[in-house]
Every structure is written in structure tokens, then in C-alpha cells.
Amino acid sequence: MTSRSGTEGLAAAALSTEVGIDPQDVADSLEPTPHNTESFRQIRVIDAWRKYSDHLTWGKGQCLAILDDGCDLAAPPWQVEMPWGRKVIATYNSIDGNDDPTPVPPGYHGTSVGYPSSINHAGIRGVAYNNFVAQVRCVTIVHLQGQCEATSMATALQWVLDHHERYNITAVNLSPLDDERHREPVSTPIDEKLEALRNQGIWVSAPCGNHHYTDGISWPACQPFASPSARPFPDNMWLILTASQTRTSWSPRKPPRHPMLTQPRVP
């Protein structure tokens, strides 16, 4: 795994992207601070933390693969050492065929997209704050022009298939999208990989709600074996937290419950 240095200013900027919280504001607090307090409260993540704190693992022992336009590993949240290991346990770059996920302009999105799900830094927590993360650069920029980067995305999904047992990857955040309105699936090289991941019981989310479309959804969320989500690594799926305490079996015809949040705590 290759780490590339970056400036503190860039790391701080990445941490505060969208709804991020400045760690300096909460570093001395004894209580964990949600990455997005308003959103987490609205969808009852905070209630679930309190109610099931002694029953769920909050991702411990499981790995989320983040497939995006690259990650600055120098950002403090991705430098975290948890008692059971490093937060980032694997990296890959399906564009260049190496292990360096560093974003290259115009790429910008992948450093911070995993904060709502996975951050566990300076008192700030994402939903599955105990999980591991695999950072994978699979596109040059998250907002695509059509499906022109489907091949590198398929290569990244194959990497997940090849390594999911080694790293216990149970969920994938497939962040790229084409910003188009699709009423039917679009055939591309990722379809075979998505089906294979579904058959392995690996949950793959893809964003579809960025533009409030009502007459179609973006690719790849429109594909049969992707799980469309209203936001990247979807906030709407957090509702599962209040509905289930156990990981459940599922079939290709039934979208899976999110395994990283419903895995029972192991003593």
C-alpha cells in the first residue's frame, strides 16, 4: 500500500468538505460527535448508537471499499490507527494499475466521501466508525461524461472480487455517476462484476439522488445489481439501523440489508 504526502491545508479542506466538522472543535470532547449531527439525528443514527451500542460492532472487523476518483491518504482521518488496526487497510488504482489512489486533477471527491460512513478521528464519528476502508481510484473524476470510464470501474470491481475474502470487504461505495436520466439499464463491462458481487453477498451502493430526477436515475445506479442510493454511501440506508440487529441472508432479487451496520457484536 502506497501513501503519498500532502499538505495539512489540503487535508483540512478535505475534512470540511460538504458537511464535515473541524476536529479542533471537538478534539477535547469526551462524547463522540456525529459527522453530520443534523442528518444523523434526522434519520436516527444517534438513537441507534445509543440503543445498540453494546449489541452492534459498527463495522469492526469489516471493510468498506470506496471506489471513487482518488483519495489523499495524508488526510488525518485516513491516517488513524485503531486498536485493531489501521483505518485504511488496502489501496488500489485501476486506472494506472498500481496501489496508489492519490487523486489527480480534476479528481477531488474520493478523499472525503467516506467520512459520513467511516470517519473515526478526533472525536468525530461516521455511522460505521469502527470499520476498515479500502481506498480505490477507479475514475478520473466522479461526475462522468456518459459511461466512458466503465472499463476502469469494472477493473476496480474485479479487484474487490479478488480481495474481498482477504480484507473481509462486505460493502462497496461505488461513487461515480453520469448525471443522466436513465429509465432502463445501460449495458457496460461493470454488469458482470456487479452480479458477481451480489452473488457473493457484497452490498454495492451507487448514487442516484444528486439531481432530484423524477423521470430516471443515473448510471450505474440504474443497473440491476447495484443498490441505488439517494446520496453517496447512502444516508437513506442508515434507516436500517433502527430496523435490524442481525445480518440477514438475501437473494439477488432482494436488496441486502447493510452488513456493516447490522453485524452483531462479537465478544
For residue 22, give the H/E element and its range.
none
User: Could you give the count of Cα atoms lying within 13 Å of 32 in the half-sphere of its Cβ?
Assistant: 19
pLDDT for 209: 73
Helix (H, G, I), strand (E, B) or coil at 125: strand
**DSSP-based helix, strand, coil % in the chain, nearest 5:** 25, 20, 55
| The dihedral sign for the CA sequence 198, 46, 229, 95 | negative
pLDDT for 264: 40
In 3D space, the residue among 103, 83, 107, 82 whose CA is nearest the CA of residue 91 turns out to be 103
The verdict on whether omega for the bond into residue 106 sits within 30 degrees of 0, i.e. cis, is: yes
Is 70 within 8 Å of 102 (Cβ atoms)?
Answer: yes
pLDDT for 230: 64
For residue 245, give the H/E element and its range.
none
Cα 161 to chain centroid distance, Å, stands at: 16
How far apart are the C-alpha atoms of 253 and 221, rounded to whole Å?
16
pLDDT for 56: 87
Average pLDDT for the chain: 81
pLDDT for 9: 37
pLDDT for 173: 95
pLDDT for 1: 47
Residues of the chain with pLDDT under 50: 1-19, 22-29, 232-267
Helix (H, G, I), strand (E, B) or coil at 62: coil
Parallel/antiparallel/unpaired status of strands 120-121 and 124-125: antiparallel
% of the chain residues with pLDDT over 70:
74
pLDDT for 208: 85
How many CB atoms within 10 Å of residue 194? Answer: 24
For residue 112, give the H/E element and its range.
none
Parallel/antiparallel/unpaired status of strands 124-125 and 33-34: parallel
Q: How many residues does the chain have?
A: 267
Domain boundaries in the chain?
8-17+35-262
Please give the CATH topology (third level) of the domain spanning 8-17+35-262.
Rossmann fold (3.40.50)
First and final C-alpha spacing in the chain = 30
pLDDT single digits (tens) 136-157: 999 999 999 999 999 999 999 9
Helix (H, G, I), strand (E, B) or coil at 137: strand
